[in-house]
Amino acid sequence: MKISVVIPTVNERRALEELIARLRLTAGRGDIEVIVADGGSTDGTIEVARRVCDKLVEVPARGRAVQMHQGALAATGELILFLHADTSLPGQWLGALLDAWARKPRPGATAYRLDFDSPKPVYRVIAGLGHWRSRKTGIPHGDQAIACRREDYFEVGGFPPVPIMEEYFLLPKLQGLGPVVVMEEAVKTSVRRYERNGPIFNALRNVAIMVLFKAGVPPTRLKEMYR
């Protein structure tokens, strides 16, 4: 099974080369293609991407959902895995992914368990709560490296051009095609966004955004809170 890994980027030069090198190393002989969907980087990310990825898609309109959708349009794999540039997959990511997609009934989507690249206890708590929430709701965070069949992605319409909460538009549709499977293998997501404003503030803000989204507040307004 060929896997297309779509990585949306904006000014990720420092992380990108190491991320893709590790991705290829841990994939071993697996059939993967790495697609970088860049949203107008100015720090040399594009030059790094041209050197290390299989396909570079330069997206005029910046936005993670738009970039991931354009990356999906360029994908040729049976599965598309959407990987944030600040998230590292587990060493056995490919085997776990293939095992999950060999299950019956076939998943509508898969994701990895959430974890962070910091040993601080507060991040273990946040990760544990995030893992519990994603299992209960069937809607993992984008940081958890969501994957789905390319055919299914386009059947349900893919990511819409929203500025935030894009997984809440896509995953409920994929749930109609099969269960969302959250694997036990964990990603390591950077805590850089949490450290900027503090982990507790960020965690509470994210919960507030989810509650407001469920209450009908449009993503364009929620984006201002996220900033």
| pLDDT tens per residue, range 167-204 | 999 999 999 999 999 999 999 999 998 898 899 998 89
pLDDT at 224: 87
> What is the per-residue burial (b if ≥16 Cβ within 10 Å, else e) of 18-42?
ebbeebeebbeeeebbbbbbbbebe
Two tokens, residue 209: 């955004």
Give the domain CATH number at 83.
3.90.550.10
Distances (CA, A) of 62 to 11, 164, 167, 201: 12, 12, 17, 26
Instruction: Please give the DSSP secondary-structure letter assigned to residue 40.
Output: -
Where in the sequence is the domain holding 31, given as residue range(s)? Answer: 3-226
Q: Would you say the pTM of this structure is higher than 0.85?
A: yes
pLDDT at 42: 95
Q: What's the structural domain count of the chain?
A: 1
pLDDT at 44: 95
Taking only the tens place, the pLDDT of each residue in 41-53 is: 999 999 999 999 9
Can you list the residues of the chain whose pLDDT is less than 50? Answer: none
Residue 102 CA to chain centroid, in angstroms?
21
pLDDT at 61: 85
